[in-house]
Amino acid sequence: MALTVVSGSGHTWRLTEPIGTGSEGIVYGVDDARPLVAKLVPAPPDPAAYRRRIARLVRQRREPRAVRLVSTTPTRVAWPLAGVRAGGPGADGVDGYVMADMRHAHQPFAHLLTPEARARLLPDATWSTALAASLSLARLVADLHVEGYVVGDLKPDNLWVDALGRVGIADVDSWQFTDGGEVFPGRMGSPGHTAPERIGAPAGTAPDRASDEFVLAVLVHQLLMCGLHPFAGHPASGGGYLSYDDNVLHRRCRLLDRTSVILPRSAPPVDLLPRRLTALFRAAFGGVRPAASAWAEALAAEADPARLRTCRRNPLHVHTAERPWCPWCDLAERGADGYPAPRPRPEHALPDSRAPHDAKGPQEPQGAGDPSNTTDATDATGRKGMAG
Dist CA 150 CA 313 (whole Å): 44
Backbone angles phi, psi at 311, to 5 degrees: -65, 140
Choosing from 333, 354, 375, the residue where a domain stops is 333
Is the domain of 124 the same as that of 141?
A: yes
Dihedral sign, Cα of residue 270, residue 273, residue 277, residue 281: negative
**Residue 345 covered by a domain:** no
**Residue 377 covered by a domain:** no
Is the domain of 145 the same as that of 270?
A: yes
Q: Tell me: the pLDDT tens digits for 260-293?
A: 999 999 999 999 999 999 999 999 999 899 999 9
**Residue 36 covered by a domain:** yes
How many helices and strands in the chain, by DSSP H and E?
Answer: 9, 15
Return all residues near 135 (Cβ < 8 A) that are at least 6 apart: 165, 296, 299, 300, 303
At residue 370 the predicted structure's pLDDT band, cuts being 50, 70 and 90, is very low
210 burial class (0-12, 13-18, 19+ CB within 10 angstroms)? middle
Choosing from 72, 104, 136, the residue where a domain stops is 104
Tell me the DSSP string of 183-226.
EE-----BTTBS-GGGTTPPTTPPP-HHHHHHHHHHHHHHHHTT
* Whether the Cβ atoms of residue 218 and residue 236 lie closer than 8 Å to each other: no
Tell me the DSSP string of 281-338.
HHHHHHSSPPPHHHHHHHHHHHTSGGGEEE-SS-TT-EEETT-SS-HHHHHHHTT--S
Measure CA 39 to chain center.
18
Lowest-pLDDT choice from 6-10, 92-96, 115-119: 92-96
Is the domain of 83 the same as that of 171?
A: no
**Residue 365 covered by a domain:** no
Name the residue among 126, 194, 114 with its Cα closest to residue 366: 114
Examine residue 89 and say whether the peptide bond preceding it is cis (omega within 30 degrees of 0). no
* Whether the Cβ atoms of residue 326 and residue 311 lie closer than 8 Å to each other: yes
The pLDDT value recorded for residue 380 is: 34
**For 34-54, what is the mean pLDDT?**
94
Is the domain of 270 the same as that of 130?
A: yes
CA atoms within 13 A on the CB side of 131: 21
Is the domain of 97 the same as that of 157?
A: no
Is the domain of 98 the same as that of 85?
A: yes
* Whether the Cβ atoms of residue 307 and residue 321 lie closer than 8 Å to each other: yes
**Residue 324 covered by a domain:** yes
**For 194-221, what is the mean pLDDT?**
93
CATH number assigned to the domain comprising residue 35: 3.30.200.20
Tell me the DSSP string of 266-291.
TSPPGGGS-HHHHHHHHHHHHSSPPP
CATH number assigned to the domain comprising residue 127: 1.10.510.10
Is the domain of 188 the same as that of 88?
A: no
Choosing from 104, 136, 153, the residue where a domain stops is 104
Is the domain of 263 the same as that of 116?
A: yes
**Residue 184 covered by a domain:** yes
Q: Which domain holds residue 302?
A: 107-333
* Whether the Cβ atoms of residue 369 and residue 244 lie closer than 8 Å to each other: yes
**Residue 378 covered by a domain:** no
**Residue 376 covered by a domain:** no
Is the domain of 99 the same as that of 113?
A: no
Is the domain of 113 the same as that of 94?
A: no
**For 322-351, what is the mean pLDDT?**
82
The pLDDT value recorded for residue 362 is: 34
Is the domain of 150 the same as that of 240?
A: yes
Q: Tell me: the pLDDT tens digits for 231-257?
A: 999 999 988 899 999 999 999 999 999
Using alpha carbons only, give the angle 134, 139, 143 rounded to the nearest 5 degrees: 150
> 363 pLDDT exceeds 70?
no
Using the 8-state DSSP alphabet, how is residue 73 labeled?
Answer: S
- Pairing verdict, β 107-108 and 308-310: unpaired
Dist CA 385 CA 18 (whole Å): 10
Provide the Cα torsion 186, 60, 156, 42; round to 10°: 70
At residue 304 the predicted structure's pLDDT band, cuts being 50, 70 and 90, is very high
Total structural domains in the chain?
Answer: 2
At residue 88 the predicted structure's pLDDT band, cuts being 50, 70 and 90, is low
Is the domain of 248 the same as that of 114?
A: yes
